[in-house]
Amino acid sequence: MRWKCVCTYDGTDFEGWQSQANRQGVQDHLEDRIATTFKRFIRIHGCSRTDAGVHARGQVFHFDADWTHGAECLQKAINSRLDLAVQILSISPVEDTFHARYSVRQKRYRYYFQLHPSSPFDYRYVWAFQGKHFDIKAIEDVLPLFVGEHDFRGFAGHVLSGENTIKQLTCAQILEEDGRYVIETIGSGYLYRMMRMIVGACVMCGYGKINKNFIRRRLNLENLSIPIVTAPAQGLFLEEIYY
């Protein structure tokens, strides 16, 4: 039987989603606790490999295992063994054709930043920096350039050999919530550090270090040798997966 699971986690103390040799990935933590539940190791398959320090409100994974006590009981059994920084929000049986990674249609990410110092209670979840001479409108103006189908090679930390760098964003907007700003995107897929580099480029625009023309040229792969900022991990949240 195949189980689809939606989980949330604080990524601060994990080395990303993917399994690590030192067993410090979120995947490792979940697999260890699921193994305790089933009394055997079970491999789980996630929808997205979030970086170290990145958080998730809607990470999806699946695994195959026989369980006769119902989904609600399974969710409680696994959650009772998890660290407080990780929680399964829902578990449901799905067809064997479902795959957490390969069945994805779109992913929604949000990045939080603020133009004033953070407090001890939120510094793990927001990029806080000095807002003097910062132009939010510049970000509003540049974000629509990312919407559509583009080769995002210029906004990737590392591209694997043979990797498809053409992705489509259907949404790229900035919102204001509770005294901080949120850059939200929805896309068919994301390259390594792509969202963080998009945010970093937007912040550079806000400070006037680059402009819309720079972004246009970057999307056309014309100025790849010029470095752009990669936003720190703690402000990034994987919000939702669409199937």
Residues with active-site annotation: 51
| E-assigned strand segments in 13-81 | 45-46, 55-64
Residue that has been written with the tokens 């970057």 in this structure: 218
Number of H helices, E strands in the chain: 5, 10
SS3 of 141-181: HHHHHHCEEEEHHHHCCCCCCCCCCEEEEEEEEEEEECCEE
Provide the 3-class DSSP secondary structure of residue 18: coil
d(CA 237, CA 8): 10
